[in-house]
Structure 1
Amino acid sequence: MKKLLTMLMLAVMVVTMAVTPAFAVIDIIPGNGGEGVNTTKPDPNFQWEEGGNSAQKPTNPPAVNNTIKIFVNGRQVTADVPAFVDSANRTQAPFRAIGEALGCQVTWVNETQKVICQKEGFKVEMTIGKKTFTVNGVNKTMDTAPLIKNNRTFIPVRALGEALNCNVNWDQANNTVYITSK
């Protein structure tokens, strides 16, 4: 009976290993609470070798949802264009949607390519393409700049949120920005 159970368990293990797709495996570094999850993206130029195990070739890899969601004080912000991550690895969001969700009066000054966000004792001014901005007349610096994309003005979410004295948190696992007033 022991032999039969051992052989049955071995057979199940072999079958399970043969049908498990290679793309479903993740590396976890033991002892650090799962922070060592390998999140590297697959190489889009990778070519499967001919003659390899066809059971390991993903025919329809799982879809990846890269949509960035933004919540301001618990309410999701909706805009007519999506937020995105820029080359400096910062979330850029449509200026008017974020500014208004934060309770600000928003203004676009076409002549100077400047956006102004005003709210209860705060005045934030940012200029397209410039990493310097002002908060109540005081110069500040950010590591990225506002920009225009698809005829829309985008601003760095963290810079604006923190300039308005809000907490700004990024949830990597869910592609979500949380902005909360202090």
Structure 2
Amino acid sequence: MRKLLTMLMLAVMMVTMAVTPAFAVIEIIPRNGGEWVDTTKPDPNFQWGTSKPVAPPVVADNTIKIYVNGKQVISDVPPFVDSANRTQAPFRAIGEALGCKVTWVNEAQKVVCEKAGFKVEMTIGKKTFTVNGVNKTMDTAPLVKNSRTFIPVRALSEALNCNVNWDQANNTVYITSK
């Protein structure tokens, strides 16, 4: 009986192999320098179902730049726009760019800017400040952020008798001495 079953199985295998081969032979013929190889990179903005190419999204440069008398002010921390929509800049960078002697009074949490006939004092968290001993008010306050003292650029610049212009399209503050 075993012999009969073995012969039957061999017969079935031979018939099946004749009808469907267990493996196929594929002949690969090289072409002239890879003419059938697509070397173009895929479009990262491709979208299914559209017939027109889709433009990549525009990434806005929200970096605020500050120029004092035509020279860009560079600091280790960037300026930013506060909740009152005012540009705040690192105190030392902007003060020194304006030609001031800058001082931080830790006990009073106060900054002092001195320049040829001007003395400006601002206190962290207070909207009032003094220019040559005269009290003034601004609509925002100096603050400490990321271990840096930031001051309102316009308030300090105008207190030092400078012109201040904001270029919205380029996120740039231009300060010029009078």
* TM-score using structure 2 length: 0.70
Equivalent in the alignment of 1:149: 145
Trace 1:52-63 onto structure 2 (pairs within 5 A). Answer: 54=50, 60-63=56-59
Equivalent in the alignment of 1:88: 84
Separation in structure 2 between the aligned mates of residue 67 and residue 58 of structure 1, nearest angstrom: 26
Separation in structure 1 between the aligned mates of residue 147 and residue 164 of structure 2, nearest angstrom: 26
Structure showing greater Rg:
2
Shift of 1:74: 0.6
**CA offsets 1:70-92 (integer angstroms, 9 cap, x no match):** 00011000000000000000000
Provide the secondary structure at the position in 2 that maps to 1:98: helix
Query: Which amino acid letter does the alignment assign opposite residue 103 of structure 2?
Result: T
Provide the secondary structure at the position in 1 that maps to 2:67: strand
Equivalent in the alignment of 1:127: 123
Query: Which amino acid letter does the alignment assign opposite residue 62 of structure 1?
Result: V
Shift of 1:58: 6.2
1:107 and 2:103 matched: yes
Q: After the TM superposition, which segments of 4 or more aligned residues of structure 1 sit over 2 Å from their partners?
A: 53-60
**CA offsets 1:21-79 (integer angstroms, 9 cap, x no match):** xxxxxxxxxxxxxxxxxxxxxxxxxxxxxxxx757996841111000010001100000
The alignment-based identity, stated in percent, is 81
Query: Which amino acid letter does the alignment assign opposite residue 149 of structure 2?
Result: T
> 2:69 pairs with 65, 68, 73, which one?
73
Separation in structure 1 between the aligned mates of residue 96 and residue 142 of structure 2, nearest angstrom: 17
Separation in structure 2 between the aligned mates of residue 75 and residue 55 of structure 1, nearest angstrom: 48
Separation in structure 1 between the aligned mates of residue 142 and residue 51 of structure 2, nearest angstrom: 47
Shift of 1:177: 0.3
Shift of 1:109: 0.5
Separation in structure 1 between the aligned mates of residue 164 and residue 149 of structure 2, nearest angstrom: 20
Separation in structure 1 between the aligned mates of residue 96 and residue 154 of structure 2, nearest angstrom: 15
Separation in structure 2 between the aligned mates of residue 90 and residue 55 of structure 1, nearest angstrom: 45
* TM-score using structure 1 length: 0.68
Equivalent in the alignment of 1:139: 135
Could you say if the C-alpha distance between residues 170 and 55 of structure 1 is closer, same or farther in structure 2, counting changes exceeding 3 Å? farther
Instruction: Work out the number of aligned pairs and report it.
Output: 131
* Structure 1 or 2: more helix by fraction: 1
Could you say if the C-alpha distance between residues 115 and 57 of structure 1 is closer, same or farther in structure 2, counting changes exceeding 3 Å? farther
1:98 and 2:86 matched: no
Could you say if the C-alpha distance between residues 100 and 54 of structure 1 is closer, same or farther in structure 2, counting changes exceeding 3 Å? same
